[in-house]
Structure 1
Amino acid sequence: MKIKILLVLALMVTQITFSQRKSRADRFFENGDYVNAALQYEEELNQEGYTKHILENISTSYYNTFQFKEAYRYLKVLTSGKFYGKDKSYDNAFNFMMHQVLSALGKYENAVDFLALYYKNEGKEFNKSNAISEIEAFKLKDDDYTITSVGFNSDASEFGAIKKDSLIYFSSDRKPNGVLDKNYRWTHRPFLDIYAVKVDKKNTPVSDIETISGEINSKLHEGNFCFTSDGNTIYFSKSNSEKGKKKFDSLRTNAVHLYKATKVDGVWQTPEKLAFNDTSYSTEHPWISSNDKTLFFASNMPGGYGGFDIYSVAINADGTYGKPVNLGETINTPNREQFPFVSKDGHLFFSSNGHLGLGMMDVFVSELKENKYTKPINLGAPLNSSYDDFSLTYYNETDGFFASNRKNKSEDDIYSFSQIGEIFLKEYEASFTVKDFATDNYIPNAAITIFDLDDQLYEDTLDKKEFITLSLFPGKYAFKASADGYKTKEKPVVVKEKENETYVIYLDKAITTVADNTKVKEDKSVSTSDNDVVKTPNELTAEQLRKQLLSDKVGPQVIEKNGKLYFDLPPIYFDYDKWNIRADSKKVLDDFALKLEKYKTVYIKISSHTDSRGTDSYNQVLSEKRAESTRNYLALVGYVNARRMQFEGFGESIPLINCEGKVCTEEEHQINRRSEFEIIKY
C-alpha cells in the first residue's frame, strides 16, 4: 500500500509539474514573450507530442522572432494534419504564415501554393502561374536602386532613418544610458528610442550618436517619426501611456499611439496624444505631407480591410484633425500595410506583406495620378529581399534610406540608397520583326499583330520593312506573325525597360504535300523524303537535326566535346557571392533564348559553378541558385518552356582553373564562376 501511495504521489507530481510547464508556456505566449514561449513549447513537445495547440503557438513564436527554419518545421506538420486529435482543421491564417515563411526561405513556388490555398479559403480568385511570373519579374528586373549599409548600424536594431540638413535621425533598441532599464518582452532587448547623429556629405558619422530629448524618449517605445517642414514639430509612434505607465485595453494589450511635440527656443516640449487615438487599437508610423496639411499613418482600427491599413487625416488650420480616411483597397489588403512615406510629388511609398512580393514585407510605391493612387508597384531587388524591408524615406529626389533584417535575420539595419532607374511605368521604343527559321532572313510583307493584356491590339504589315517600332509600356504582350507560305505563329513577349529592344518571331515554312510525279523545288534548309513531303525544321530526324545544329552559324554556335553537344555561349558570369543575372549576361541569354526558340525540340542542362572561396556546402547552394536563376531568366524573359531545361549546381567541384595550393587572381576566380549549357535531348 505504501509503495502504491508513493507511485500515485509521484504521478501526481509529474502531472502537476507538466501542467505548470504548459501553463507557463502559454503565459509566455500570451504576454508576447515569444522567445521563452518557443523554448517552453519545445519541452512540451517532448512530453505531449504534436498537438494542434502547441503547433499553432510554437509556429507563431518562431515566426514572430524571425526563426523561419524552425517555424517551417512545425508549420509543415500543422498544415499536413499529421498531429494528435480528431480535428485536423487549422486557421487559414497559418496558410498565409506558411506562404511568408517559405518565401523568406526562398522557396517561392511552394510559397505560392499556400498563398493560393489561403485565397481559396477566403473565397477569392488567385492565379498561381501569374503570381510565379510576377515574383520572377521582381527578381530579374533591372535594378532601379543601388544600396549600401550605413556606418552607424550596430548589433541592435536600427530603422526609420530621416535626414534633415546634416543630421540623421533614426529609431533603435541599442543599450540606453540607464543600465537598469527593463527589456521589451518580445525581443528581449531594450525599448526603442529616437537617436540623432551628425554626418558628412557621404552620410559618414562625424559625431557621437545621442538620444534627441528626454521629453521625447521615455522608458517605453518611441518608434517611427516625422518632422514638419520647419523641423519644429515632431509626430512619433509611442507606447500608449499615462504618467509614464503603460495603458492597456480589455485584453491587456498595450497599443501604439501617435503623439506630437513642438520645439520652443530649441527645446522639445512635453508630447501630447493626437485626438483620434483610441485604447482599443494602434495608430503608428506617421508621415506628414510636404505642405504640412495631411498626416498619413498605419492603424488596425475597426472598419479597415484587415490587419494594418494606411490612413490619412487632415490637419486643420487651428491644429485640430479631421476624420481618418482609409486609403482604400487599391493600397490596403487583408494583411499588413505600414510605414507610409509620401514624396513631394504626392507618390505613396509603403511596406506590405499583403501585395505579392519577394518575401516578408516588401516596399511598394503607388503613383498619384489625377488625385488617385495607382496599383502599387513592387520596387524589386536589391531594395527588396526575402526578409522584411521597410521604413523607406527620401531626403532628395534620388537618395534616401530604408531598413531591412536581411543580414542579421532578427535585428534591423539601415541602408542608404540611390535611385538609378525609372520606378514608374513609362513607354519604351520596342521593335518587332519576323524571320525565316532556316535562312534567318527577314520575311517581306509579313503581318504583325501585338496584343496587350486588355485585348487592345496594334496591327501592321512589314511591307518590305525589316521592323515595325511601337511605343509600349513594359509588361506582357502577345506577338503574332503570319506570311504567305509560312505557318502562323504567336508567342508571349515581355517588353523590357529598355529603349530599342528587338523582338523576333521565326516562322516555319508551311508543310506542302505534292503529287508523286510533281517535281519539288529543292529547299536546302530542309530534308525531303521518298514520300514527297517537305519537312519543317522542327520535324527533322534526330541525325538531321544534329547536323543542322552543328552547321547553323546564326546566333550561339553548337560545338561537340567528348561526344556531347554544347551551346558555345559567351561566359555567363556572376559577381562574387551573388546569383542574380548581370546586365552583361542578359544580352547573351536573350540571344540564346532566340536560338532555343528556333529549335523547340532541343532540351538542355544548365550547369553552374562557383570559385573555391567559401565552404563546400555554401558553394553548393550558391551554384544551385545560379543555375536556377539562369533557368528562370530564360523561362521568364525568353519564354523558353521550363520543362526543356534541367539545372544543377556543382559548387567548386569542377573548376576550370585549379586554385588548390596557389593564390588565384580575381580574373581566375571569375573564370570558375560560370554556367554551361549541354544539349541533353533533341
Structure 2
Amino acid sequence: MKTKLLFVFVLLIGQTIFSQRKSRADRFFETGDYINAALQYEEELNREGYRKDILEKISTSYYNAFQFQKAYRYLKILTSGKFYAKDKSYDNSYNFKMYQVLSALGKYEKAVEFLALYKKNKSEELNKESAIAVIEAFKLKDDDYTISPLKINSNASEFAAVKVDSTIYFSSDRNSNGFMDKSYKWTHRPFLDIYKVRVNEKNIPTTDIEKISGEINSKLHEGNFCFTKDGNTIYFSKSNSEKGKKKYDSIGNNSIFLYKSTKTDGIWKTPEKLPFNNTNYSVEHPSLSTDGKILYFSSNMPGGYGDFDIYRVLVNQDGTYDEPVNLGATINTANREQFPFISKDGHLFFSSNGHLGLGMMDLFVSERKNNVFKKPVNLGAPINSRYDDFSLTYYNETDGFFASNRKNKTDDDIYLFSQIGEIFLKEYKARFTVKDFASDSYIPDADIFVSNLENQLHEGKLDKQEFFTISLFPGKYDFTATAKGYKSKTKSIIVKEKENEVYVIYLDKEIVSVVEENGNNENNTSAPNKDIVTNKENLTGEKLRNTLLNDKVGPPVIEKNGKLYFDLPPIYFDYDKWNIRADSKKVLDEFALKLEKYKSVYIKISSHTDSRGTDSYNQVLSEKRAESTRNYLALVGYVNARRMKFEGFGESIPLIDCDTKNCSEEDHQINRRSEFEIIKY
C-alpha cells in the first residue's frame, strides 16, 4: 500500500536546502524516504541511546513503511510508563498508532486498550468490552462476499480498478517512464500511472496491459480516478504540478490535486485542475454519482473533523462547481476517511481507520435513505483484513474490485469480489426463552427484558408460550430474565444475522429456609418467621460428574481413559483455514448453551491438523484453530473465557497415521479435529 499512500498523506518531498545540523536520518525522514530513515535511526539509537525524539521518528518511519512488528517495538517503549516517567507525556497520536499496529498484528485486546486511552485523552469514551465484541463479530460473521485475486496483479502495486464495458483501468507503479526517471522516495519504486487492459467475461486479460493514451500520464503520480457515464470525461488524482514540475507550498509540501480531462476522437486532452484545489492541502480520490451531478472526494482541507474527510461538490450544467460540503460526523472522524465510491443506488462505500475495524484501513458502506447517509457498516471479512483494504468499486449490481496489501503488507493487489449477502442492517426475528438451570425446562410466566446500548427496551412475558419473539437489528444487547422463585439474571448477547435464532438464559432457584421462633410449638398459632436465603445451586464432585454423564440434552459427556470429554460433532476446518465454518457454528452454539448450564465446568480445547504442510506451520495453524474456537465460544456464545484453555498440537497426535498409509481426503479431515476435555468441575 506504500504506493497509494501518495494519496493518503500530504507528500513530504520539499526540495529545500537542509541545515548542516540535521542528521542523515532526519533528511531521509523529511523527504519521505522512511525505509532509509528507519535504518539510519537504528544507528542513532545504538550510538545515542533511546532518546524520545528518535523513538518518535523511528516508530513513525516503520509505521509508514508497514513494518508493524518493528513499529510496535519502539512504540511500546515510547508509550511505556518507565520511559516517560520524567516527561509525563507523549503525543496522543502514538496511542492511536499503537492501536493500529496491534490490530495489524492481530492483538485486538491490547489494541483496544490503546484506543480507549486515545479516546480518553480526547475526552471521549469507549466501552472496551463492547469494542472487542464488535471486532470479533466482524471476523466471525457470515461472509457477505466471495473474493479472488485479479489476474493482472504483478510484483508491483496495483489498485483503483474501474471496469468500463470490457476494459479494466487501474493504477500501478509497475513501469518507469524512462531510464533516467526518478523513483518515488517513499517506496523506492517508479511513480504511478494509469493502465488499461481488455478482459473477457471472467475478467481474464485478452490483450496486453498498456498505459492509458494521451496526456493523462506524466513523470509524476496519477492515482485514483473515475469516468463520466459516457466514458468521455475522466477525473483523477495527480501531484500538483506546472509544466511537468511539482509545485510546493510555503513549507515544501507537494499536495495532491484533482484534475479533469475530456476525450475527443479517442484522444485525452491536456488535463485541467479543478477550481477548488489548493496548494496548502490535498484533494483526491474522485467518485462521480451516476447522473454526473455530484462529485465526491477526500481532502484534508481546513475545517474538517481531523485528518482526511469525505466531501461532495455539485457539478453544474455549465461545467462550474459549487463550494465543497463536508459529509459530516456520521461519516467522518478525527482520523482518515478516504477512497469514496458512490454506487448506482447512491450508497457510499469508503475506507477508514477512524471507525472501529479489523486493522489498518477497513472498508465501510453507508446506506443512503431519504437523501441522508446512515451510520456506516463495516463490510467484515473476507473484504476486510488486518491490513489496508481500500478503493472498492462495483461494475454491476453484485460484482466489483477492491485493493489490499494483505498478501505481503507492502505492495497492493487488486481483488475481484462478488456480493452474496445482505450488507445493510436489517431486522431479524430473535426468539428469547428462560429455562430452569437444574431441569432444563422453560419457566412459564418469566419476564424478559431486552435492551441495547442506546437503552431502547423491549419487554415481554413467556406466559404459556415457550418463546418471546421480537425483531431486532444485529448487534449487542443485554438480555434480562426474572421469575418468581428464581434469582434474576442479565447477560450480554449478540443478535446474529439469522432468522428465528434462539437466545436462552438459565435461572437458579432461590432456596427458602424456614426458621421457627424460640418457644414455637404446635399450639402456637402465630406464623413462623421466614428468612429467604438466596444461594446458587452448584453441583459439585461426584454428583456433578454423574449429572454430566447422564444429561442427554445437548452434547453428551463421555469418559475416555479416565477423562471426561464433551462428545461434539466434528468441528471441521477448511484446508489451510482457521475460521469457524457455518456448519461448525451451529455445533458450537449448542455447546455454548450446555456450558451456560454448567457454569462450574472448565474445559480445554485441543486442536489438531492433518499431516500436510510443515511441522512448524501445522503447529501454528492448530493454535489458531484452537484460539478461534475459544474466541467463538467466548465472544459469540458468551462463555467466560477464563473457563476455557486452548492448545494446538499440530500434526503430532493423528487419529490416522498418514505417514504409513496413503490417506484419503476423508482421513485427513478426521485428523483435522478439535477435542473438548473437561479439566475441572
Q: Is the 2:451–2:458 contact (alpha carbons within 8 Å) kept by the matching residues of 1?
A: yes
- In structure 2, C-alpha distance between the alignment counterparts of 1:553 and 1:462, rounded to whole Å: 25
Could you tell me which amino acid in structure 1 is paired with residue 634 of structure 2? Answer: A
Q: How does 1:107-256 map to 2 (within 5 A)?
A: 107-176=107-176, 178-256=178-256
Aligned to 1:561: 560
- In structure 1, C-alpha distance between the alignment counterparts of 2:242 and 2:622, rounded to whole Å: 56
Q: How does 1:118-517 map to 2 (within 5 A)?
A: 118-176=118-176, 178-513=178-513
Change in 2 beyond 3 A, CA 1:21/1:72? farther
Q: Is the 2:607–2:649 contact (alpha carbons within 8 Å) kept by the matching residues of 1?
A: yes
Residues matched between the structures, number: 649
CA-CA distance at 1:121 after TM superposition: 1.8
Change in 2 beyond 3 A, CA 1:618/1:274? same
- In structure 2, C-alpha distance between the alignment counterparts of 1:224 and 1:353, rounded to whole Å: 19
Could you tell me which amino acid in structure 1 is paired with residue 619 of structure 2? Answer: Q
- In structure 2, C-alpha distance between the alignment counterparts of 1:535 and 1:52, rounded to whole Å: 57
- In structure 2, C-alpha distance between the alignment counterparts of 1:248 and 1:173, rounded to whole Å: 23
Q: Which moved more, 1:456-465 or 1:636-645?
A: 456-465
Change in 2 beyond 3 A, CA 1:554/1:21? farther
Q: Which moved more, 1:456-465 or 1:409-418?
A: 456-465
Normalised by the length of structure 2, the TM-score is 0.91
Change in 2 beyond 3 A, CA 1:41/1:483? closer
Aligned to 1:550: 549
SS at match of 2:118: helix
CA-CA distance at 1:113 after TM superposition: 1.2
SS at match of 2:512: coil
Q: Is the 1:167–1:199 contact (alpha carbons within 8 Å) kept by the matching residues of 2?
A: yes
Q: Which moved more, 1:210-219 or 1:431-440?
A: 431-440
- In structure 1, C-alpha distance between the alignment counterparts of 2:87 and 2:449, rounded to whole Å: 55
Q: Is the 1:81–1:89 contact (alpha carbons within 8 Å) kept by the matching residues of 2?
A: no
Q: Is the 1:289–1:344 contact (alpha carbons within 8 Å) kept by the matching residues of 2?
A: yes
Aligned to 2:519: none
Could you tell me which amino acid in structure 2 is paired with residue 613 of structure 1? Answer: R
- In structure 1, C-alpha distance between the alignment counterparts of 2:458 and 2:123, rounded to whole Å: 36
Could you tell me which amino acid in structure 1 is paired with residue 417 of structure 2? Answer: F
Per-residue CA deviations over 1:30-58 (Å, capped at 9, x if unaligned) read 01111111121122222222211221111
SS at match of 1:513: strand
Q: Which moved more, 1:272-281 or 1:206-215?
A: 206-215
- Unaligned runs of at least 5 residues, structure 1: 1-18, 517-532
Aligned to 2:527: none
Change in 2 beyond 3 A, CA 1:87/1:491? closer
Q: How does 1:595-606 map to 2 (within 5 A)?
A: 595-606=594-605
Aligned to 1:9: none
Q: Is the 1:199–1:207 contact (alpha carbons within 8 Å) kept by the matching residues of 2?
A: yes
Identity rate of aligned residues, in percent?
A: 77
CA-CA distance at 1:92 after TM superposition: 1.4
SS at match of 1:470: strand
Aligned to 1:16: none
Q: Is the 1:51–1:85 contact (alpha carbons within 8 Å) kept by the matching residues of 2?
A: no
Q: Is the 1:350–1:364 contact (alpha carbons within 8 Å) kept by the matching residues of 2?
A: yes
CA-CA distance at 1:669 after TM superposition: 2.2
- In structure 1, C-alpha distance between the alignment counterparts of 2:126 and 2:461, rounded to whole Å: 37
Could you tell me which amino acid in structure 2 is paired with residue 571 of structure 1? Answer: P
Could you tell me which amino acid in structure 2 is paired with residue 557 of structure 1? Answer: P
SS at match of 2:647: strand
SS at match of 2:511: coil
SS at match of 1:103: helix
CA-CA distance at 1:633 after TM superposition: 1.0
SS at match of 2:545: helix
Change in 2 beyond 3 A, CA 1:51/1:455? closer
- In structure 2, C-alpha distance between the alignment counterparts of 1:492 and 1:38, rounded to whole Å: 45
Structure 2 residue 618 is matched with structure 1 residue 615: no
Q: Provide the alpha-carbon RMSD of the alignment.
A: 2.2
SS at match of 1:184: coil
Aligned to 2:5: none
Change in 2 beyond 3 A, CA 1:663/1:38? farther
Bigger relative CO (Cα 8 Å, ≥ 6 apart): 2
Q: Which moved more, 1:240-249 or 1:439-448?
A: 439-448
Q: Is the 2:509–2:537 contact (alpha carbons within 8 Å) kept by the matching residues of 1?
A: no
CA-CA distance at 1:22 after TM superposition: 6.8
Per-residue CA deviations over 1:432-462 (Å, capped at 9, x if unaligned) read 2233333333333433333333333333333
- In structure 2, C-alpha distance between the alignment counterparts of 1:616 and 1:20, rounded to whole Å: 54
CA-CA distance at 1:89 after TM superposition: 3.3
CA-CA distance at 1:676 after TM superposition: 1.4
Normalised by the length of structure 1, the TM-score is 0.91
CA-CA distance at 1:636 after TM superposition: 1.6
Q: Which moved more, 1:131-140 or 1:651-660?
A: 651-660
Change in 2 beyond 3 A, CA 1:559/1:425? same
- In structure 1, C-alpha distance between the alignment counterparts of 2:44 and 2:457, rounded to whole Å: 62
CA-CA distance at 1:621 after TM superposition: 2.4
SS at match of 2:38: helix
Q: Which moved more, 1:39-48 or 1:475-484?
A: 475-484
